[in-house]
Structure 1
Amino acid sequence: MKIKHNYGLLLVDITLTFKGRSEVIKNMVVDTEETKTLIFKNMVEELGLRVELQEKLLLIWGGKENAFKKQVDQIQYL
């Protein structure tokens, strides 16, 4: 895994796999104090990773934004 340091942040490139389809996401922020990862939906929509009708939306960032949870097949650090 190659860790980059830019803008005062630790960044990594990953390959995210969901339902057998993979996508490379560059410059993911490594936050060592968090237990979850947020990925903007426009970065993963091509994988088919989107909210389904039966899923609940979560409020994040003080209730200003919606999010949803998904379990992915694999995350590989490049």
Structure 2
Amino acid sequence: MTCPAPVKTAYRNMRFLITHSPTNASLQELKKNRVTTIVRICEAIYNIAILEKESIQVLDRITRFNCFIQ
């Protein structure tokens, strides 16, 4: 499956890298772009422990959204 290319954008002092759901194989791309936090808005298809080992924080918005709509 071909995924769209990552898009970089910025707002004030924050930089964002918008990507298709990251995979374990895309860790190098995240590190290259100095990603420190991932906001998960879809089901995880990656190993969160690997990201956390690389000091990348994973915020789970799915759980918070599901609690809100119930």
TM exceeds 0.5?
no
Structure with the largest fraction of helix: 2
Structure with the largest fraction of strand: 1
Structure of greater Rg: 1
TM-score of the superposition, structure 1-length normalised? 0.26
